[in-house]
Amino acid sequence: MFTRFRRKRIHPVLRDLLQETTLSVNDFIYPLFVKSGEGVKEEVASMPGVYQMSIDEIVKECDNLKALGIKSIILFGIPDVKDSVGSDAMCEHGIIAQTVRAVKAAHPDMFVVTDLCFCEYTDHGHCGVLDPVLETVDNDITLDNLAKQAVVHAKAGVDMIAPSGMMDGMITAIREGLDGAGFVNLPVMSYSTKFASAYYGPFRDVAESAPSFGDRRSYQMNPANRREAIAESVADEMEGADILMVKPALAYMDVIRDVRENTTLPLAVYNVSGEYSMLKMAAKAGVIDYERVMMETLLGFKRAGADIIITYHAKEAAEILAKQVAGSR
C-alpha cells in the first residue's frame, strides 16, 4: 500500500482546485524613490527597472500602476540637502511631504505608504540623530524626531506609516505623536523584525543612504537570531503596531513563519533590493527563467505566512497574474 499523490496532479483543473496558497495583485506594495526636479527618471545600474523619479514622474507612474491593478505604493525620499538630524524629513515642504500631497491630489484612490526613517536625510547616513560619545544613533532623541516626521507625513495625507529605523519604542512614540495630533485612524506598519543585511546594498545606491562610517549593527538585528526575531515583532505588537514586517524575506523564510505563528497581526515581508537584483542579473546572464523564478519566490513568501509583499517585482508579477486570470497560462 502506498499513497497515490499523483492522481491529483494529472488534471490541470484539479491542480488549481487543490492549490493551497495563491498570489494576487492585492498582495503587493510597490516601492518608489523620489527626488527633486521635473521630468527626472533615472534608472539605477544595480537595479534594472528601478528609477529615481521626480514628483511629476511619480504621479505619472501611478497611472501605470493602477492600470496593472497595483493600488499601493511605498515612498522613499532623496532630499536635496542632508544634515546631521535629517531636517528635510521633518519639514512640511520636504521631499516626501510634497510627494504625498501631489500623489494624493492626482490619485485619491492610490494607497500611499511612507517609509519613516532618517538614513536618506542625514549627512552621516545613519537612521537617526548620533550620540557623539557612542558614535551610534541616540535612541530616545530619535524617537522624538520620528514622532515629528510621522505627523508631517500624516498632515500631508499619507494612508499608512512604515517606520524602518529599528529604534526601541518607536511604535509607542509614533502612535502617541499621531494620536496627539488627531490621527487615531492612521495605521502603522512596523518594520518590526529587520536584520542588518548585506541584501540592502543596491537600495543604498538608489536611495543614496549608505552610512558614511560604520554599519547599522547597533540597531538592526543579527541575522543569526531566531528568538530575538520573534521578540522584536511581539514587542511592536504590544506597542500597538497594526501590521508587522520581516525584512529581508528570502533568506528569512523561517523567521516569516515564526512571526506568523507568534502574533495575530497581519504580516508584511520586504522582498529587498539585493533579492531583486540577484534575479535580474541571473536573468541577464541567461541562467534562469526569470518570470518563473520570480513567481515561485513571491508565492513562497505567501506560503511562509506573509499577507503583504513589498516588492520591486510588483509590476512584472501583476502582468503575469493578469494573463493567468485571462486564462492563457
Active site (catalytic) residues? 194, 247
Residue whose CB is less far from ligand PBG, 152 or 272: 272
Residue 187 CB, nearest approach to ligand PBG (Å): 18
161 binds, among Zn ion, ligand PBG, none (CB under 5 to 8 A by kind): none
Cα radius of gyration rounded to whole Å, the chain: 20
* Residue appearing with cell numbers 529581508: 248
**Contact criterion met (CB below 8 Å) for 78 and 124:** no
Residue 167 touching Zn ion (CB under 5 A): no
Cα–Cα distance between 150 and 315 in angstroms, integer? Answer: 28
203 binds, among Zn ion, ligand PBG, none (CB under 5 to 8 A by kind): ligand PBG
Cα 182 → chain centroid:
26
The region of 88-96, 109-117, 129-137, 170-178 touching Zn ion under the rule CB under 5 A is 109-117
Size of the site for Zn ion (CB under 5 A): 4
71 binds, among ligand PBG, Zn ion, none (CB under 5 to 8 A by kind): none
Whether omega before 211 lies within 30 degrees of 0, making that bond cis, reads no
From 89, 96, 119, 171, residue interacting with Zn ion (rule: CB under 5 A): 119
Residue 65 touching Zn ion (CB under 5 A): no
Q: Which amino acid is at 118?
A: F
- Residues near ligand PBG (CB under 6 A): 115, 117, 119, 127, 164-165, 200, 203-204, 272-273
Tally the C-alpha atoms within 13 A of residue 142's C-alpha that lie toward its C-beta: 28
Residue whose CB is less far from ligand PBG, 115 or 239: 115
273 binds, among Zn ion, ligand PBG, none (CB under 5 to 8 A by kind): ligand PBG
Mark 169-188 with x for binding to Zn ion (rule: CB under 5 A) and - for no binding: --------------------
Cα–Cα distance between 194 and 110 in angstroms, integer? Answer: 26
Residue whose CB is less far from Zn ion, 21 or 84: 84
Residue whose CB is less far from Zn ion, 170 or 309: 170
Residue 177 CB, nearest approach to ligand PBG (Å): 19
Residue 71 CB, nearest approach to ligand PBG (Å): 20
Residue 127 touching Zn ion (CB under 5 A): yes
Residue 204 CB, nearest approach to ligand PBG (Å): 6
* Residue appearing with cell numbers 533590493: 273
Residues of span 278-297 touching Zn ion by CB under 5 A? none
Residue whose CB is less far from Zn ion, 125 or 300: 125
Residue 167 CB, nearest approach to Zn ion (Å): 10
Residue whose CB is less far from ligand PBG, 211 or 262: 211
* Residue appearing with cell numbers 511629476: 56
Which residue's CB comes closest to ligand PBG? 203
Give the H/E segment covering residue 58: helix 55-67
DSSP 241-285: -SBEEEES-GGGHHHHHHHHHH--S-EEEEE-HHHHHHHHHHHHT
Is residue 308 helix, strand or coil? strand
User: What contacts 192, CB < 8 A, 6 or more positions away?
Assistant: 232, 233, 235, 236, 237, 241, 244, 245, 246, 259
**Contact criterion met (CB below 8 Å) for 86 and 126:** no
Residue 38 CB, nearest approach to ligand PBG (Å): 26
Do β-strands 72-78 and 111-116 pair in parallel, antiparallel, or remain unpaired? parallel
Interaction site with Zn ion (CB under 5 A) = 117, 119, 127, 165
